[in-house]
Structure 1
Amino acid sequence: MTGYSIDKARLTDWLGDGLELAVLDIRPTEEVGYASPLFATNLPAERLDAELDRFVPRRVVRTVLVDGGDGTAEAAVTRLRQTGWTNIHVLEGGIPAWVEEGEDKLPTFDIPGVAFVTKVRDERGTPVVSAVELKALRDQGQDVIVLDTRTLGEYEKAHVPGAVGVPGAELLLHFKDLVPSTETKVVVSCAGLPRAILGAQTLIDAGVENAVAYLDDGTRGWTDAGLDLETGRTATYHEATETARRFASEYGKSLSAKDGLTFLDRQTVETWKADPVRTTYLLDVRTPDEFARSNLPGSISSEGGQLLGVSYRTIAVRGARVVLVDDLLGSRARIVAHWLARRGFEIAILLHDFGAEERAAA
């Protein structure tokens, strides 16, 4: 081992000291899976040199690379220290050493999504329907709509038949177009629990008049009940109408009425980014397509619905400031801020008139 290695006890201390810290699991993505056991940012070894600056914007931040116990991290640390990463370390023994005595009481880099949302559900009493109950409602001819809050790519692969694909951060922006009647029962779905619970509770917290519930265990619960899923982009949202945008503005403000949001201007954001002692992320929570059309220099595309459920995939520095970038309406940023602030993130919002830039370029 090099002099840059740390043991399990040291990493445990660092995870609890509240200071800025980046932990990156550099194993292949297929080996890491969802996130277990550290809930750290996955950046495979072959992408480290090209992308580490994106995930850890300041090279002086304490950074720990974790591998599969094969020495990959040690070689990477040696190489990266020669290119200006002065505070980068390797976890001795990697993941095998970390889980050697079991995973039950181990600290994690980020709060596991399921643990957070089930706490939200239990505290708020988020209504729920089972797959069998949903099917019965449909068979009875009830006025009910299913909103699938995953990415459109996930939705396309398989979803509850008749569900409409509308990623979680887009819910308020497109709600009135998709659900014009207040009498319609709304069931929010995902693949399991996290995004469905947060989606349903977002609508409830915003004060929509409809009855709202989440689908218990999402698409998994549907198939476990012996029911078939549907494939393809059978029904998704479209560009929001003015009526929908007015609704999103009103209910977005209602959602965040007690959140104490901080709104920044461009100059303040640039000052934050230049701060030599704090890390600041500039995360664009609009859709990837919108980001591709127009974006702010230095910002990262981080679709809001995904950021809610798997923030560790983008925010690699714990203790960093997070600036959410959105259009002037700001409904996506309000949803993301509503939940990430409750998870302990320091959140601010930057609203920008992307439409003006697109009109100028036309």
Structure 2
Amino acid sequence: MSTQAISKATLIDWLGDKAELAVLDIRTAEEVGYASPLFATNLPAARLDAEIDRFIPRRVVRTVLVDDGKGAAKVAAERLAGKGWQKLFYLEGGIPAWIESGVESLPTFDIPGVPFVTKVRDEKGTPVVTASELKALRDKGEDVIVLDSRTVPEYSREHVPDAVSVPGAELLLRFKDLVPSADTKVLVSCAGLPRAILGAQTLIDAGVPNFVAYLDDGTKGWTNAGLTLETGKTRAYGDASEAAKAFAAERVEALSRDDSLLFIDRATAETWAKDESRTTYYLDVRTPEEFAESHLPGTISSEGGQLLGVAYRTIAVRGSRVILVDDLLGVRARTVAHWLRRRGYEIGILLHDFTAAELGAVA
């Protein structure tokens, strides 16, 4: 099949319709930075052929490749068309053409993380503590803990000194082990705002008894205050105790009380995944280590904390269904679903006993 160029106006129209649509920014990660101006999935051209099936499970999905305006998208689209991709398009002029008149009035593929979470913050009144205020609390000997809600590798690169690494979807599950006292002040941090705000508000909505706030601008706010970050995997969550699991199970009920969550069985999940008329993402939201030990066939490791604030990095097809796979406790899946449903995603939750002997390790 031949490929076709589309104009900026056409892409704007497509971003406004209801049909399935995938948009891939194929520039390098360094060029894209934190997010594409389109808030589309970044899949660099060098990895495109090897990984596109993971991001776009069905080759009939309308797919737009976007580049730096120098022709890489056209070349890639023609190459993929020869491999069976049926509805490939590329944006004329790439990102330079998209942003040339500014981006303020333009639609985006996904809801940008910062506007979404700041709306949550403003509606909920999420408490905030600045880096200077945190330092003052510590200097006075206050009982305060910082929970870093990013991935462990991000945390290991640099973090607020003495912070504990607890990726966002793990916060409720690990909370009681890390914060045994209701008197401890809890601050949730990330590199900026999105995951910290959602992490803090998750704990607040779940009704933990502690004072909870987010650390304003996270690691960026810390350095802007003239303070030095710490490196290495200095403090991280461990296996959840039975007491922590019981606490999380109780609190997640409060968090998701009004969520109308859809729980499905494995047969339904596999039927959805094989549906030729609809794209379905089959995502395991447990830790990467748990996934490596055992997982269901066909699932993709997609750490829940990342889905909370940057879903577009994994879910490249707008209008798709999303299956969240978790253990029988389901705390992480329910936490992720709590926020993704508010962003318009259609969610099914599959809880599975990963300790069952018949499963074994699946590579």
TM-score range, shorter chain: over 0.9
Q: How far apart, in 2, do the equivalents of 1:3 and 1:246 lie?
A: 54
Alignment coverage as a number of residue pairs = 360
Alignment of 1:205 onto 2:211:
no
In structure 2, the residue matched to 1:87 is 87
- Aligned positions of 1:30-109 closer than 5 A: 30-109=30-109
Amino acid paired to 2:69:
G
In structure 2, the residue matched to 1:282 is 282
Asked if the contact 2:36–2:42 (Cα under 8 Å) also holds between the matched residues in 1, the reply is: no
Q: How far apart, in 1, do the equivalents of 2:74 and 2:233 lie?
A: 44
Q: How far apart, in 2, do the equivalents of 1:316 and 1:261 lie?
A: 23
Q: How far apart, in 2, do the equivalents of 1:111 and 1:72 lie?
A: 26
Q: How far apart, in 2, do the equivalents of 1:71 and 1:36 lie?
A: 18
| SS of residue in 2 equivalent to 1:23 | strand
Q: How far apart are residue 208 of structure 1 and its match?
A: 0.6
Asked if the contact 1:168–1:199 (Cα under 8 Å) also holds between the matched residues in 2, the reply is: yes
Amino acid paired to 1:64:
V
- Aligned positions of 1:142-181 closer than 5 A: 142-181=142-181
In structure 2, the residue matched to 1:299 is 299
Amino acid paired to 2:121:
R
Q: How far apart are residue 83 of structure 1 and its match?
A: 1.7
Alpha-carbon spacing, 1:7–1:234, altered in 2? closer, same or farther (3 Å) = same
Alpha-carbon spacing, 1:13–1:211, altered in 2? closer, same or farther (3 Å) = same
| SS of residue in 2 equivalent to 1:356 | coil
In structure 1, the residue matched to 2:343 is 343
Q: How far apart are residue 275 of structure 1 and its match?
A: 1.4
Q: How far apart, in 1, do the equivalents of 2:41 and 2:313 lie?
A: 5
Q: How far apart, in 1, do the equivalents of 2:349 and 2:341 lie?
A: 12
In structure 1, the residue matched to 2:235 is 235
Q: How far apart are residue 357 of structure 1 and its match?
A: 4.2
Q: How far apart are residue 359 of structure 1 and its match?
A: 8.6
In structure 1, the residue matched to 2:134 is 134
Q: How far apart are residue 196 of structure 1 and its match?
A: 0.6
Q: How far apart, in 1, do the equivalents of 2:240 and 2:8 lie?
A: 50
Residues 91-150 of structure 1 show CA distances to partners (whole Å, capped at 9, x for unaligned) of 111111111212221111111101110000000000011111111111111111111111
Asked if the contact 1:294–1:358 (Cα under 8 Å) also holds between the matched residues in 2, the reply is: no
Q: How far apart, in 1, do the equivalents of 2:47 and 2:165 lie?
A: 31
Identity %: 73
Q: How far apart, in 2, do the equivalents of 1:43 and 1:225 lie?
A: 35
Q: How far apart are residue 242 of structure 1 and its match?
A: 0.4
Q: How far apart, in 1, do the equivalents of 2:110 and 2:225 lie?
A: 32
| SS of residue in 2 equivalent to 1:323 | strand
Alignment of 1:123 onto 2:123:
yes
Q: How far apart are residue 4 of structure 1 and its match?
A: 1.1
In structure 2, the residue matched to 1:15 is 15
Q: How far apart, in 1, do the equivalents of 2:261 and 2:63 lie?
A: 30
Q: How far apart are residue 34 of structure 1 and its match?
A: 1.1
Moved more, 350-359 or 150-159: 350-359
Asked if the contact 1:285–1:332 (Cα under 8 Å) also holds between the matched residues in 2, the reply is: yes
Residues 184-236 of structure 1 show CA distances to partners (whole Å, capped at 9, x for unaligned) of 11111111111110000000000111111111111111111111111121111
Q: How far apart, in 1, do the equivalents of 2:295 and 2:23 lie?
A: 28
| SS of residue in 2 equivalent to 1:305 | helix
| SS of residue in 2 equivalent to 1:83 | coil
In structure 1, the residue matched to 2:6 is 6
- Aligned positions of 1:214-229 closer than 5 A: 214-229=214-229
Alpha-carbon spacing, 1:140–1:97, altered in 2? closer, same or farther (3 Å) = same
| SS of residue in 1 equivalent to 2:101 | coil
In structure 2, the residue matched to 1:192 is 192
Alignment of 1:353 onto 2:353:
yes
Amino acid paired to 2:4:
Y
Q: How far apart are residue 358 of structure 1 and its match?
A: 8.5
Q: How far apart, in 1, do the equivalents of 2:273 and 2:9 lie?
A: 32
In structure 2, the residue matched to 1:256 is 256
Amino acid paired to 1:180:
P
Unpaired runs of at least 5, structure 1: none
* TM-score in terms of structure 2 length: 0.97
Asked if the contact 1:64–1:91 (Cα under 8 Å) also holds between the matched residues in 2, the reply is: yes
| SS of residue in 1 equivalent to 2:65 | strand
Residues 218-266 of structure 1 show CA distances to partners (whole Å, capped at 9, x for unaligned) of 1111111111111121111110100001111111111111100000101
* TM-score in terms of structure 1 length: 0.97
Amino acid paired to 1:73:
A
Asked if the contact 1:167–1:305 (Cα under 8 Å) also holds between the matched residues in 2, the reply is: yes
Q: How far apart, in 2, do the equivalents of 1:234 and 1:269 lie?
A: 39
Q: How far apart are residue 36 of structure 1 and its match?
A: 2.8
Alpha-carbon spacing, 1:50–1:3, altered in 2? closer, same or farther (3 Å) = closer
| SS of residue in 1 equivalent to 2:38 | coil
Q: How far apart are residue 28 of structure 1 and its match?
A: 1.2
Q: How far apart, in 2, do the equivalents of 1:250 and 1:324 lie?
A: 20
Residues 9-43 of structure 1 show CA distances to partners (whole Å, capped at 9, x for unaligned) of 11000000021100001111111111131111111
Asked if the contact 2:68–2:96 (Cα under 8 Å) also holds between the matched residues in 1, the reply is: yes
| SS of residue in 1 equivalent to 2:24 | strand
Runs of 4+ in 1 over 2 A off after TM superposition: 357-361
| SS of residue in 1 equivalent to 2:147 | strand
| SS of residue in 2 equivalent to 1:354 | coil
Unpaired runs of at least 5, structure 2: none
In structure 1, the residue matched to 2:309 is 309
